[in-house]
Amino acid sequence: MDAGDLKIFQAVAREGSITKAATALNYVQSNVTTRIKQLEDQLQVPLFHRSNRGMLLTPAGENLLGYADRILELLDEAEQAAQEGSPPTGNLRLGSIETAASRFLTPLLAEYCACYPKVRYSLVTGGTHELNQKVIAHELHGALVYGPVKHEKLNYMKMYDDELVLIVKPGELDMPVLLSRPMLFFEVGCSHRTQAEDFLKTQEVHSLNVMEYGTLDTIINGVTVGLGVSLLPRSSVAQAAARGEVDIVSLPDPYSRLEVGFVYAHGEHRSNALQALVEIMTIPEQ
């Protein structure tokens, strides 16, 4: 078993398909198939369930994936550590809650790329729990999430405070009627759900009708046409409110409190690329 085998195995596990993994790695499909078969023969266990729907990990494959992620991450860190003192290079895999990606992270990455053009970064969006798990599993180097976050495997740095607000269809401010409508969230397990439930209890509403509704734009559009209401950071809906697409209703303290921070894996060597990003994030604004 070598790093090349593990990289191929990891790609097939992530993509769920030999074809997609070969494309992602820029390998010939037959080579990927052969290497996976050789790895299974070497370990004497099947690593995947094969079906018309793709490749699903067996229990043995699930166990190996955890080690493969850690080994490949350590190899990457070893390479980065050997380059200490040189300008940051390599890959930087980042995640962000959608509401922070455009307002905070995109301008920061523009500054970062201008300083460190040899770093190749990628960015995915998702929910706080999902992003935290990807950082713990070393699928991401770091992520912007709702905080605070307290986890033994994560470092957390507070980035900024925001305000959680209720957004509603323009001109419709009858609170009992509004709160009887579906609450549009990015995901069923949205970080705001507990705050929403606590706030609704103060309004004598004891059940939360949650509708999973995709992206920030689709949520705002759904509220605009009256499909429901939503709880979102003020910073992410201020422009829509200024255009008259939604009305903003302030929430009382403590339901309006919102914090965004950056998480990265605890207790491990930070690559030059990640260290440089952390340093930019912690530079005080002038």
Res. 286: pLDDT tops 80: no
Model confidence at 211, pLDDT cuts 50, 70, 90, reads confident
Single residue among 82, 100, 131 that ends a domain in this structure: 82
Residue 38 lies in a domain: yes
Segment 187-202, tens digit of pLDDT: 655 667 777 778 878 8
106 to 112, 245, 266, 285: CA distances (angstroms): 10, 24, 24, 16
Residue 224: other Cβ atoms inside 10 A: 17
Domain span at residue 272 reads 90-160+259-281
Statement to judge: residues 148 and 184 lie in one domain: no
CATH number at residue 141: 3.40.190.10
Mean pLDDT of the region 38-50: 92
Question: Of the candidates 221, 216, 213, 247, which has an alpha carbon nearest to the alpha carbon of residue 232?
Answer: 216
Statement to judge: residues 142 and 272 lie in one domain: yes
Statement to judge: residues 74 and 98 lie in one domain: no
In 169-241 the beta strands, taken as DSSP E runs, fall at: 183-185, 210-212, 230-233
Model confidence at 283, pLDDT cuts 50, 70, 90, reads low
Average predicted confidence (pLDDT) for the chain: 85
Q: How far apart are CA 68 and CA 175, in angstroms?
A: 52
Model confidence at 263, pLDDT cuts 50, 70, 90, reads very high
Residue 48 lies in a domain: yes
Torsion, Cα of 270, 274, 275, 279 (10° steps): -150
Res. 244: pLDDT tops 90: yes
Position 86 scores a pLDDT of 67
Residue 265 lies in a domain: yes
Position 189 scores a pLDDT of 57
Segment 50-92, tens digit of pLDDT: 888 889 999 999 999 988 888 887 787 677 666 555 678 878 8
Statement to judge: residues 135 and 178 lie in one domain: no
Position 284 scores a pLDDT of 53
Residue 286 lies in a domain: no
Model confidence at 144, pLDDT cuts 50, 70, 90, reads very high
